[in-house]
Structure 1
């Protein structure tokens, strides 16, 4: 069973054009179409204490917005994307999140 923490951040596109969602520090880019949204999920192995990589206190995310893109810094050990119902959007490419492994 996974004993760490999980944080979720919903990112939506209510504009008329596709929105690029850049996920750092991994450099992945996901396109969010108009009227769609996704959830960035990150995990920390520590049950308490600061999130790894957090620049301002105990924040699991840092977000920068530009007219055609959003950059989300996920301050956990890994990340994955899901829809609002929790269904995975894209498989995690970097060895897997420990929280997603069977029996984690």
Structure 2
């Protein structure tokens, strides 16, 4: 059983053109189509579920937005992406804990 914490962040493209999502510090990029929502999931490596934070301590994510792109800094030790139904968007799991209904 995974002892750390899990955080989810919904990213929705309500625009009319694709939006580029970059997940850092891995520098992975993904297109988010118009009206599409994806879920960025990260897992805390700490047993107490705390987060290292980026600008503030104990924050699982930091988000930077520009007109045509969004950068998400995931402060866990891994990340994976899914759609709203939980279907994986990317096959790479960056060695995240086993994916189950709560992943």
TM-score (normalised: structure 1):
0.87
Counting matched residue pairs gives 100
TM-superposed deviation, 1:50 = 3.5
Aligned to 1:36: 36
TM-superposed deviation, 1:86 = 1.5
Aligned partners of 1:49, 1:77: CA distance in 2, in Å? Answer: 12
Aligned partners of 2:23, 2:73: CA distance in 1, in Å? Answer: 6
Structure 1: 5+ residue stretches without partners: none
User: In the alignment, does 2:44 pair up with 1:57?
Assistant: no
Aligned partners of 2:2, 2:36: CA distance in 1, in Å? Answer: 30
Aligned partners of 1:99, 1:54: CA distance in 2, in Å? Answer: 26
Q: Conserved in 1, the CA contact under 8 Å of 2:4 and 2:44?
A: yes
Select the structure that is richer in strand: 1
Q: Conserved in 2, the CA contact under 8 Å of 1:44 and 1:76?
A: yes
TM-superposed deviation, 1:59 = 0.5
SS in 2 for 1:100: coil
Aligned partners of 2:50, 2:3: CA distance in 1, in Å? Answer: 15
More off after superposition, 59-68 vs 41-50:
41-50
Structural RMSD (CA): 1.7
TM-superposed deviation, 1:28 = 0.1
Aligned to 2:25: 25
